[in-house]
Amino acid sequence: MPIYASQQEGRLRPAPESFLSDALIADVSHHGIDEGRRNLLRGAFTAALAGASGLALADDPNIVEVPEWSRSLGKAVATNPYGQPSPFEANTIRRQSPGLTQTDQASVAFTPLQNLFGTITPSGLHFERHHQGWVDIDPRRHRLMINGLVKEPLVFTVEDLLRMPSVSRMHFLECGANTALEWGNSAVPTVQYTHGMLSGSEWTGVPLSLLLERAGYNRQAQFLLAEGADGSGMTRTINLTEALDDAIVAYGQNGEMLRPEQGYPLRLVVPGVQGVSWVKWLRRLEVGDKPYATKDETSHYVDLMPNGQLRQYTAIQEAKSVITAPSAGQKLLSRGYYCITGLAWSGRGSVRKVEVSVDGGRNWREGRLEGQRSSKMLTRFNFDWVWQGETALLQSRVHADTGYIQPQRAALVAERGTRSIYHNNAIQTWRVSSTGEVDNVQVG
């Protein structure tokens, strides 16, 4: 019988933090954990354990009885030549938002941010956004053409690109329409659907600048048209002056070749810029002196302002953060310590700090940033919290290295209204009820 089906919620015995005094819990909740409070916590745990030793604890059958995996021969190497996650992690998959689109080919499957750790998105969980379906391209028949304002139009095979000097860089990829459903009201039940058009990966490929040098591009050119080989022939105008700094013609993602859903065998990587410009199945780059006003720069991916004007070429992803756990749709099982965790990122550089509020933005404390703070890459933050059963409003707020601070939703809406679809980087609120259930709400 599968264990996940029979497992009961809750714990056999109270967790150690349940032995803490109310005063100490309140103190830690308000001020966080420092060395002094850490010692108080240790003391409380030791006392609790000493007190508990007199009780007759039930023996754990998972210890005193040998489990089946410890008394049988395991599976052979290469049973799964391409490894798979544990079957017990089957809940961690990409999902569509029902009713969002009427065809599955021009649609979205969202990344399950609520179940992920760190800053690297497993390639198989990277969100999908296609405009006319995804395709399996034979890399031996795929070509990259560079034309337009160049000395000599060129054609590269994938083999050609694999021979050239490569770079590997960590960058986030966020769809310009991430969180689009939340402009008007709380619309979807979990962080997978509110923020799941977001990923972090290590991308490997040839610097765009090197390829354009090879073609002898005109130094006065300011724009680049990137075009895909899929049915939609996806096209986007790239700000060439800036793309020369850090754009990559990528074939690698997290150590392997790109996944087909991510543009195998070639995609453009434009760090800090919205995902639609990271053209997948890249077949052509045209150097030009004017922007191209493609379908996804006129009919879609234009941000409608209250005065009726459409903001065109809204490329950069402004700094944003979100708490991924505890988050909407989850349930806090018992009172006590929780590590509030989330992601922060900036399309203009790196993250300076992240603050967390548990009272809807009235008071803020700084979270811990884990690992390196790479430019235009996700940063993981953690924040210590002891929940005492009160109703709480959880928020996170990023400060970018440019000095920019993530705004509350009300401020963003006051300027842009609720109909601009794209570039919603507002502070997200999760409400924790007194029963521990977490849901998606908006305040103010």
Partner 1 sequence: MFRWARLWVICLAYLATHSLANEYPQAFNGIGRAATAAELRAWDIDVRPDFLGLPSGSGSVEQGETLWLDLCASCHGDFGDSNEVFSPIVLGNITEADIQTGHVAALTDPAVVRTTFMKVATLSTVWDYINRAMPWNAPKSLTADEVYALVAYLLNLAYIVDEDFVLSSENIEDVQTLMPNRNGMTENHGLWSVDGLPDVVGSSCSVDCEVDTTITSFLPDYAMNAHGNLKDQMRDYGPLPGMQTAPQSSLVRPPQSDSSKMIPAELLALSGCTGCHQANKALIGPGFSAIRARYAGKDAAGYLTQKIKQGGQGVWGSVPMPAMEQLDDKVVEVLAVWLASGQ
Picking from 310, 322, 317, the residue whose alpha carbon sits closest to that of residue 276 is 317
Cis peptide before 265 (omega within 30 of 0): yes
**Which residues between 51 and 70 bind partner 1 (CB under 8 A)?**
none
Looking at beta carbons only, is 4 or 47 nearer to partner 1?
4
Q: Cα separation of 336 and 358, whole Å?
A: 14
Which of 123, 209, 218, 382 binds partner 1 (CB under 8 A)? It is 209
**Which residues between 251 and 280 bind partner 1 (CB under 8 A)?**
272
Looking at beta carbons only, is 118 or 133 nearer to partner 1?
133
Q: Is 167 in the site for partner 1 (CB under 8 A)?
A: yes
H runs (alpha helix) in 99-233: 158-163, 191-195, 208-215
Residue position matching structure tokens 């290590």: 202
**Which residues between 105 and 134 bind partner 1 (CB under 8 A)?**
105-106, 112, 114-115, 131-133
Pairing mode, strands 128-129 and 108-109? antiparallel
**Which residues between 297 and 336 bind partner 1 (CB under 8 A)?**
297-299, 302-316, 318, 325-326, 329-333
Which of 65, 89, 256, 390 binds partner 1 (CB under 8 A)? It is 89
Q: Which stretch binds partner 1 (CB under 8 A): 19-27, 63-71, 155-163, 254-262?
A: 155-163
Looking at beta carbons only, is 139 or 329 nearer to partner 1?
329
Q: Cα separation of 213 and 219, whole Å?
A: 10
Looking at beta carbons only, is 40 or 393 nearer to partner 1?
393
Looking at beta carbons only, is 126 or 246 nearer to partner 1?
246
How is residue 99 written in tokens? 């009713």
Q: Is 242 in the site for partner 1 (CB under 8 A)?
A: yes
List CB contacts of 411: < 8 A, sequence separation 6 or more.
Answer: 426
Cα–Cα distance list, 137 to 82, 125, 143, 418 (Å)? 20, 20, 11, 39
Question: In whole angstroms, how close is the CB of 214 to partner 1 at the nearest point?
Answer: 5
**Which residues between 403 and 442 bind partner 1 (CB under 8 A)?**
404-408, 410-412, 414-416, 419, 423, 427, 431, 437-442
List CB contacts of 230: < 8 A, sequence separation 6 or more.
Answer: 130, 131, 132, 133, 134, 135, 280, 281
How is residue 250 written in tokens? 């990528």
Q: Which stretch binds partner 1 (CB under 8 A): 18-26, 28-36, 39-47, 357-365?
A: 357-365
Q: Is 295 in the site for partner 1 (CB under 8 A)?
A: yes
Q: Which stretch binds partner 1 (CB under 8 A): 22-30, 43-51, 59-67, 295-303?
A: 295-303
Q: Is 154 in the site for partner 1 (CB under 8 A)?
A: yes
Q: Cα separation of 267 and 180, whole Å?
A: 24
Looking at beta carbons only, is 54 or 165 nearer to partner 1?
165
Looking at beta carbons only, is 126 or 335 nearer to partner 1?
335
Q: Is 365 in the site for partner 1 (CB under 8 A)?
A: yes
Q: Is 45 in the site for partner 1 (CB under 8 A)?
A: no
3-class secondary structure, 364: coil
Q: Is 200 in the site for partner 1 (CB under 8 A)?
A: no
Do 236 and 254 contact (CB within 8 A), yes or no?
no
Helix 35-52 vs helix 22-31: crossing angle, to nearest 10: 150
Half-sphere exposure of residue 338, counting CA atoms within 13 Å on the CB side? 24
Cis peptide before 306 (omega within 30 of 0): no
**CA–CA–CA angle 402, 359, 22 (5° rounding):** 125
Q: Is 181 in the site for partner 1 (CB under 8 A)?
A: no
Looking at beta carbons only, is 47 or 443 nearer to partner 1?
443
Tally Cβ neighbours within 10 Å of residue 8: 6
Q: Cα separation of 179 and 110, whole Å?
A: 11
Q: Cα separation of 54 and 73, whole Å?
A: 40
Question: In whole angstroms, how close is the CB of 101 to partner 1 at the nearest point?
Answer: 9
How is residue 338 written in tokens? 């929780």
Looking at beta carbons only, is 46 or 298 nearer to partner 1?
298
Q: Is 233 in the site for partner 1 (CB under 8 A)?
A: yes
Cα diameter, the chain: 85
Q: Is 193 in the site for partner 1 (CB under 8 A)?
A: yes
Looking at beta carbons only, is 27 or 55 nearer to partner 1?
27
Which of 23, 64, 76, 90 binds partner 1 (CB under 8 A)? It is 90
Looking at beta carbons only, is 114 or 178 nearer to partner 1?
114
